[in-house]
Structure 1
Amino acid sequence: MSLTLSRRALLGAGVLTLAAPRIARAQAVTLAALRASGKLRIGIEATYPPFTMRESGVITGHDIELGTIMCRSLGITPEYVDVVWSGVIPALYAGRFDMIMSGMSYTRARMERVSFSIPYAEAGQSLLIRNRDTNTIRAIEDMSGKVLGIKLGSPGETLHPRLAERITAARGRGFADVKIYDDHPAAYLALNQGTVDGVLNTLPTLAYVIRSQPTRFAVIRGIGADNYAGFACRKDDTEIHAWMDEQLRTLRANGTLRELQLKYFGLEFNLPETIPEPVA
């Protein structure tokens, strides 16, 4: 099975591997320092709707609205930094920003490098397929001999080898090929054009895709184990970590999180109170 990567994707993968380990900082960022600066720089990827996206050149989405609400508690303004997702953790430790949003799901590798908040979104993997293929692709095993599309640095990149083993055990042959893209919109375009037969992504994000293009795509649920997403900060920034958790608990209790979920996803998340054991 071959992996199709662009030169940019290959460079991104190399940066992620070499630069991701935790880098010691001279001083932790405190909430007092954030108040003094008047802003919180937040790393996002503006190609991950409805979490973070661009509309008419303006960055918007669920996490943008949520981050703005959270920053009001400190009397500061969020400053969103758009970054290639494969380099988001190295950029955090390089000091480009002090917090990560954009639906970052829990993985063991990431938890070794950053401090995660409690969950704020579901992140279980599902499979996006063409609507016309619903009669032939009803489960992940039906992807035997077909081409899978995944995004570089996403949970799907970690999950697909196990899926290939599962499909091979059931049908005698795994994926015909796996193509890797720099972002999910590029993978969706490839799916629509017939270059790939299915794209892995989280259920909330695919629910948004279906809402916007109901006649073009369909979703196969239950592809992988349940998983969730949280915010992240550097290990040393303990005050930011505590503030993230406090804000999420407050906004969950007063109904703000539910309102945003219904607004952007059309569904309400079933979230655990604490960080679950990562699926990978």
Structure 2
Amino acid sequence: MITRYLSVLLLGIVTFFHLDLARAGAIEDAVRRGVLKVGTNPAYIPFEMTDKRGHIVGFEIDLLQEMSKALGVELELVPVAYTDLIPGLLADQFDMIGSGMTVTQKRNLQLNFSDAFIIVGQTILLHPRLAGKVSSVEDLNEAGYRIAATDGTTGEAAAQRFLGAAHLRSFPTPEEGVQQLVDGEVDAFIHDAPYNLIAMVKPQNRELLALEQPFTYEPLAFGLKKGDYDSLNWINHFLNQIAQDGTYDRLHDKWFRDTDWLSEID
């Protein structure tokens, strides 16, 4: 009887140990491993993008570098298509998502999000032929207009919501959408404000027009698996710390006030 009791007790201890390991969060796993693996889609200027040397750089990437430094681990970026970010996280291909992801109610059913590290909104780029004809998103909601957006983004969702009468065409990358606009294949392109502002600076896009006032409110945050509250707590404290010590402002100015980095982007 005693032997049987001890066996059951030992089994319970072993089971508890394995369950406890299973509950280990992304941050704890990264520290144990020595590497923080982050899924990202490097096509969102200036948050994550590829430079001429093939390195992934940007504002959010710098935040992740600071995060890794604070953890005492290496940062490993895992580039995937934007539509593969959530499936990749759920399949354990990486620890978290750091890819300019907007917090939405639908995504929040699948993920937990950190506090927002920046607030953006959707804006509109227009072909020059629309000069004087379009001054708001409502003006584009007509069957004759062709709208470009990027697959799986909140820009695509905003176009579907606000421009149901127009014809929507979605592309894998924002660069393709802008090029369609430059070529006159579409009338407007919808994407996050920071990307559109920087796209207008490029010589090949300077003929485009812009409605610069955002028509949506979109907090960007880091995404983690549901229930990973210890990791969320650590990341939120990290974001608060860099906001207080000046790190956040320094990185923000580097990517949103200066434009020297544009010459290094492919």
TM bucket, shorter chain: 0.7 to 0.9
Partner of 1:217: 208
**Matched residues in 2 for 1:36 and 1:232: separation?**
20
Greater C-alpha radius of gyration: 2
**Matched residues in 2 for 1:49 and 1:98: separation?**
23
C-alpha contact (below 8 Å) 1:232/1:241 kept by paired residues: no
Partner of 1:228: 219
Aligned pair count reads: 234
**Matched residues in 2 for 1:30 and 1:135: separation?**
51
Return 5+ residue gaps in structure 1 as ranges. Answer: 1-24, 166-173, 268-280
Partner of 1:113: 110
TM-score (norm 1): 0.77
Amino acid corresponding to residue 194 of structure 1 in structure 2: G
The reply on whether 1:180 has 2:180 as its aligned counterpart is no
**Matched residues in 2 for 1:40 and 1:141: separation?**
43
The reply on whether 1:129 has 2:108 as its aligned counterpart is no
**Matched residues in 1 for 2:207 and 2:136: separation?**
18
Aligned mate of 1:80, from 77, 81, 94: 77
The reply on whether 1:254 has 2:245 as its aligned counterpart is yes
> Map of 1:44-193 to 2, 5 A cutoff?
44-56=40-52, 57-131=54-128, 133-143=130-140, 144=142, 145-164=144-163, 174-175=165-166, 177-193=167-183
Deviation of the 1:251 alpha carbon = 1.2
Return 5+ residue gaps in structure 2 as ranges. Answer: 1-20, 259-266
CA offsets 1:38-72 (integer angstroms, 9 cap, x no match): 11000100111111111121111111111101111
C-alpha contact (below 8 Å) 2:26/2:95 kept by paired residues: no
**Percent of residue pairs bearing the same amino acid type:** 26
**Matched residues in 1 for 2:81 and 2:152: separation?**
10
**Matched residues in 1 for 2:177 and 2:43: separation?**
12
Deviation of the 1:131 alpha carbon = 4.9
Deviation of the 1:250 alpha carbon = 1.0
C-alpha contact (below 8 Å) 1:140/1:223 kept by paired residues: no
1 or 2, which has the higher helix percentage?
2
**Matched residues in 2 for 1:31 and 1:191: separation?**
42
Amino acid corresponding to residue 190 of structure 1 in structure 2: Q
**Matched residues in 2 for 1:131 and 1:244: separation?**
43
Deviation of the 1:136 alpha carbon = 2.8
Partner of 1:194: 184
Partner of 2:11: none
Partner of 1:276: none
C-alpha contact (below 8 Å) 1:28/1:236 kept by paired residues: no
Deviation of the 1:155 alpha carbon = 0.8
**Matched residues in 2 for 1:198 and 1:30: separation?**
40
* Secondary structure in structure 2 of the residue aligned to 1:80: strand
Amino acid corresponding to residue 249 of structure 1 in structure 2: N
CA offsets 1:185-242 (integer angstroms, 9 cap, x no match): 1101111111111111111221222233472333213453322111111113222211
> Map of 1:16-55 to 2, 5 A cutoff?
26-29=22-25, 31-55=27-51
**Matched residues in 1 for 2:234 and 2:65: separation?**
14
**Matched residues in 2 for 1:30 and 1:120: separation?**
19
Give the 4+ runs in structure 1 shifted more than 4 A: none
Deviation of the 1:30 alpha carbon = 5.2
Deviation of the 1:244 alpha carbon = 1.4
Q: CA RMSD in A?
A: 2.0
